Each structure stands twice: as C-alpha cells, then as structure tokens.
C-alpha cells in the first residue's frame, strides 16, 4: 500500500474537488527504496492527480518539456 499526501485537492482535469472514496489517478515523484520481487517506493510528492474517470492519458503533458509521453 502506498500513501501520498496531496497539496492540491482538486482534479487536474476537471477542476472539481476529489473527495473521499473516489477513484483517482495519481502520479507521484519519489525514489525506489528497495528492489526485490517488489519495488518499495518512497514518495516525495505528487506531480499530478485526477479522477479515474477524467484520466485519458498524458496528452496534456503536465511536465515542462515532457518527461513521459504515450
Ligand atoms: Zn475530474
């Protein structure tokens, strides 16, 4: 289980608040603390968050210059 704290409480797609119980897509920045059969991830912060239903890929490119593209 991974937990992350978001400083922004609204969806990056639709701008509506994200509330308890909603399914969301979160892109977190952090490092791999351990790599065995599974990866332990130490999150430092959240880069992007939106409702699962709002998610339609990375075409908006929240990163300047674009690190990840699909
Ligand atoms: Zn949304």
Q: Cα(64) to centroid of ligand 1, in Å?
A: 21
Domain boundaries of the chain, sorted by first residue: 1-70
- Rg for the chain (alpha carbons), in Å? 13
- Cβ neighbours of 49 (radius 10 Å): 23
Task: Express each pLDDT in 14-66 by its tens digit.
Answer: 999 999 999 999 888 888 888 999 888 888 888 889 999 998 876 655 555 55
Protein residues within 5 Å, CB atom, of ion ligand 1: 11, 13-14, 51, 54
Q: Cα(41) to centroid of ligand 1, in Å?
A: 25
Give the Cα separation of 46 and 3 in Å (integer).
10
Burial classification of residue 23, based on how many CB atoms lie within 10 Å of its CB (0-12 exposed, 13-18 middle, 19 or more buried)? exposed
The whole-number pLDDT of residue 62 equals: 55
Global confidence as pTM:
0.62
């Amino acid at each position: 289980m991974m937990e992350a704290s978001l400083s922004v409480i609204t969806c990056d797609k639709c701008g509506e608040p994200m509330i308890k119980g909603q399914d969301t897509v979160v892109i977190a920045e952090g490092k791999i603390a351990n790599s065995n059969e599974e990866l332990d991830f130490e999150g430092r912060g959240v880069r992007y968050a939106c409702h699962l239903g709002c998610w339609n890929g990375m075409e908006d490119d929240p990163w300047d210059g674009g690190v990840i593209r699909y």
